Structure 1
């Protein structure tokens, strides 16, 4: 794991009021969350697994808007990478206040033995990754900290071929409720945001125009969500107005489910 920051330009707690880590922050919903939290005044550690160019684009966009950000490479399913992500973020910015676990994969796969490689891949990233990221967040955050995991509203629909993805995200929601109880008395909130269909590469990949049109019409608002729609909900949970929301799953989906 290699952080993409210059220690000479790192900041401490005196110059950086609040710090957020966003996993999967190089594109899609994660990028929108990173940019929104930066606009809210957070210094942001943008985690990515493989696409360094996109991660640095996110950092550049934040810096162009007078925000503070660094890119840190690492696989959320790898314990050493996740531990290093938190240490590198703390080294760069001096503290960690908010952790958003947005990293995820979504291959379409029916429930049968042939799909086992896809199932293992989804569980490794979406569920094992959440377990590791949430565990590190619990170690590093203090009073007033916020932990936010990304789930999905498709859990309520049970669409064919979504089995591995739904299984992983149902597990994430379970972890959120348990961790909230494990952190009792520490003043740290743990919540999940469950988007409905959002117009990202992850959503469009593998779908026909007809399927996309059909899914778009499922919500009463009859449109796909945008990454910014989801980032706004995360901003609420990470900000002062979200202080009394704990152990909840906010289904940001336009009425999709």
Structure 2
């Protein structure tokens, strides 16, 4: 156990960590390589962080892998990413099962090529019985897309008389989101020095602690994860209350 890991309070771990895996392309360009080289090496970071979360007992890990806006990138990069996605899933399913990790996907699966969607569906089925870490891949996802879809679905159910408009509340909207089965993240990490959320879990991150690091995603490892968790554990989570209210609240 590293010195950083030893400092972590296992009783105060975030239940759900979300990560914007940023910097693959810049990491590659800094090394004189094309962007796909960075994405390829970013897979190793995914393996390491998934393993680190599983070892600590984190319940949910959501990784922002590909946004709906990423479809506008050069076709060579998009096609390469899809092939990398399929190869990675095919190669990692056995490891996921061995480590009792259950895979989820959130996003517009209809935008994926047929071969990628088929590979994903097979992986989801093959890991569906696992009960350890829940690994959530945000793929062809954007929060605005998710919220628009949720509003459309609610409007349709109101039209059909399934919902009373006067009864709609926060819980109603939450039930129509891609993450309806998941708790909201308590900690959101973004790598590569950008200070924005980039259309990621806008509703779900309302009370998350945000952690930004200059480390490019291909260089992000367990020690960097431990640093983020230690930073999280030093913060006071008030949810709109005062410090006194939080301290005096019954356990």
Same fold (TM over 0.5): no
- TM-score computed with the length of structure 2 as normaliser: 0.33
Report which of the two structures shows the higher radius of gyration computed on alpha carbons. 2
- TM-score computed with the length of structure 1 as normaliser: 0.33
Q: Which has the higher contact order (CA 8 A, sep 6+)?
A: 2
